[in-house]
Amino acid sequence: MIQPDEVPPTARGTNLYIADINLQRLLERRAPEELQRHEDRLADFGAWAGGPLDEQAEYTDRHANPQHVPQPYGPNGPQPGHIVFNPRYLACHAEAYARGAVGLPYQKGASGRHLACFTMGYLLSQADVSIHCPVTMTGAVAHVLNTVAPRELRDRFLHDLTRMDGQALSGGTWATELHGGSDVGATTTRAVKTGEAWALHGLKWFTSNAGSGLALATARPNGAPTGGKGLGCYLVPSHLEGGEPNAYSVRRLKEKVGTRGLATAELDLNGATAFEVAGPGEGLKVMMAALEYSRIHNAVASAGLLRRAFVESLGWSAHRAAFGQTVIHYPMVQDQLLDMQMELEAAVALSFESVFAFDALATGALATGALATGASDPEQGGDWLRLVTALAKYRTADQAVKACRTAVEMVGGNGYTEEFPTARLYRDCLVTAVWEGPANIQALELLRLVSGKRPGDQIFLGRVGAALSDLPPQAGDTADLLEGGLEECRAALSHLRRNPDQAPRHGRRLLDLLSDTLATALLCEEAVADLKLGDSRKMLVANRFAARVLAHHNPIATEMEPALAAFEDVILYQPVG
């Protein structure tokens, strides 16, 4: 029987890295050299995240949300005001950068891989999504500056984002406007040339990390065409070289369900000085590169939230006595915990698959050794990265919300109060489903890769097929289920190739089918590796996942579902003959 002293009552005060055996085994198997390089740093980071960072996060969330202090008049007329932060939040934010959450790949002698940074993001989200979010955007801006920005901008600004001396600037990505979030091509912000720089005029409606030092913003130069092709991408510093604030102001801070420690604002750009990263024709692509980086972080953050939900549920169950014994010994509770753990391990496998795909593409290590992705050249590697990121971003966010809700239920009435971490966890997890594109946007991205000109369908089938071919006889029903899932994917993808007009109708279902199938395949790969070491535990997890998740999909067919065919009548309560 599990004894209370075998399980910590809560994640607070624990080392979030050392306690995570599943994470350590994944890194040992897929990236042993990077693990050896950064293991001590990750262990130190895990202790900080489980202690001071988590304590700060609770206090900031409950008692010290950022506040906008307007200053309508000053010596020179109207003033933009300023945002007041909890000093402990600012200190922890700065410490995350000092510990390398963004800067590690850019240091002298570094491998160039971002695995350690994404792993830190996974740990950060377990304690404070309000700091993980700006770390994510800072990493995205740094990635863009390093890979596609003109050399003079890279040389001038990249160091400010990647330094590890506690003085790093943080980043932002300003794309959302009043008309809507995902329709970036409809951007109304104007860019006006002013010598070597540009002046931006417009309103950015949802700017997270409003106190950032450097932000990427989409804008349309005068005379540029409408739509995404007319957008440029610009780097906007918070302060100019002389130290004076740039010409933008906070209209108001958003009042949000969660991530309350993070300042999210409506920003008026009043001729803000900006520098062109990419002009029309390339600007939207550059912003999408930043958002793709953020989507990987979103996936590992969701996996981290799943981990925290599981740890809190397990700890409560192991220490709470009811009706004569600790709750963990009741069969229904055990069933819930196994389901949470199963989904957690699937989320870690899926989200880190996108991390490995990113690093393989960034370092040119495609289809070699531990970074094998199923892609054999940069173009295929880019397709696989986009595809697996869409699947991972969608599925992990969906499961994070379910797991955090389950954690509230497991703890019960106490879990619904702000004195327990489960309440903040549930509020914060909701951002992962909408941040950097909700499910429908991920479905559209998937369809572009598998039913358009790109060969994403064949890359996907090859990746899952390789995992299936390695399964040993003892996999039993799981091998049959994965083979059935693979064939269902093949049939669905083939159907959409032949009938592209039906793709929009089936996008969400295809997203579910492919993400569930890939998650099963990845769990099976891990199980096979552990079986070779004499450990069948992961095979039990893969078996449970396949039986509970993969076995329950309905085929994608030509016929339209009757209620959908009569959508307007059904939705408006009209009679149907």
Task: Count Cβ atoms within 10 A of the Cβ of residue 78 and give its class: 0-12 exposed, 13-18 middle, 19 or more buried.
Answer: exposed
The 10s digit of each residue's pLDDT in 247-262 is 999 999 999 999 999 9
Query: Alpha-carbon distance 162 to 173, whole Å?
Result: 16
* Greater pLDDT, 551 or 511: 511
Mean pLDDT over 136-140 rounds to: 98
The pLDDT score that the predictor gives to residue 368 is 45
Could you tell me how many residues make up the chain? 577
* Greater pLDDT, 201 or 367: 201
Three-state helix/strand/coil letters over 478-519: HHHHHHHHHHHHHHHHHHHHHCHHHHHHHHHHHHHHHHHHHH
The pLDDT score that the predictor gives to residue 376 is 62
Residue that terminates a domain, selected from 284, 304, 328: 284
Say if strands 248-253 and 214-221 run parallel, antiparallel, or are unpaired. Answer: unpaired
Decide: 88 and 57 in contact? Cβ < 8 Å: no
Query: Alpha-carbon distance 88 to 119, whole Å?
Result: 23
The 10s digit of each residue's pLDDT in 284-313 is 999 999 999 999 999 999 999 999 999 999
CATH number of the CATH domain containing 275: 2.40.110.20
Ranges 116-130, 132-146, 439-453: which has the least confidence: 439-453
The pLDDT score that the predictor gives to residue 303 is 98
Q: Is residue 420 part of a domain?
A: no
For residue 473, pLDDT over 90 is answered with: no
Say if strands 321-322 and 214-221 run parallel, antiparallel, or are unpaired. Answer: unpaired
Q: Is residue 92 part of a domain?
A: no
> Mean pLDDT for the chain?
92
Decide: 128 and 93 in contact? Cβ < 8 Å: no
Q: Is residue 152 part of a domain?
A: no
Q: Is residue 466 part of a domain?
A: yes
CA distance from start to end of the chain = 60
Residue that terminates a domain, selected from 284, 318, 338: 284
Q: Is residue 230 part of a domain?
A: yes
Q: Is residue 19 part of a domain?
A: no
Confidence band, pLDDT 50/70/90 cuts, at residue 369:
very low
The HSE-up count of residue 394 (CA atoms within 13 Å, CB side) is 27
Confidence band, pLDDT 50/70/90 cuts, at residue 373:
low
The HSE-up count of residue 78 (CA atoms within 13 Å, CB side) is 7
Confidence band, pLDDT 50/70/90 cuts, at residue 370:
very low
Query: Alpha-carbon distance 318 to 214, whole Å?
Result: 46
The 10s digit of each residue's pLDDT in 44-101 is 999 999 999 999 999 999 999 999 998 766 666 656 678 999 999 999 999 999 999 9
Confidence band, pLDDT 50/70/90 cuts, at residue 560:
confident
Residue that terminates a domain, selected from 243, 259, 284: 284
The pLDDT score that the predictor gives to residue 74 is 63
The pLDDT score that the predictor gives to residue 181 is 66
Decide: 49 and 124 in contact? Cβ < 8 Å: yes
For residue 494, pLDDT over 90 is answered with: yes
The pLDDT score that the predictor gives to residue 60 is 98
Confidence band, pLDDT 50/70/90 cuts, at residue 371:
very low
Ranges 116-125, 319-328, 341-350, 559-568: which has the least confidence: 559-568
Query: Alpha-carbon distance 507 to 171, whole Å?
Result: 32
Q: Is residue 67 part of a domain?
A: no
Vertex 35, ends 542 and 428: CA angle to 5°? Answer: 65
The 10s digit of each residue's pLDDT in 311-328 is 999 999 999 989 989 999
Q: Is residue 354 part of a domain?
A: no
For residue 566, pLDDT over 90 is answered with: no
Number of domain units in the chain:
2
Q: Which domain holds residue 492?
A: 452-554
Vertex 148, ends 94 and 393: CA angle to 5°? Answer: 65
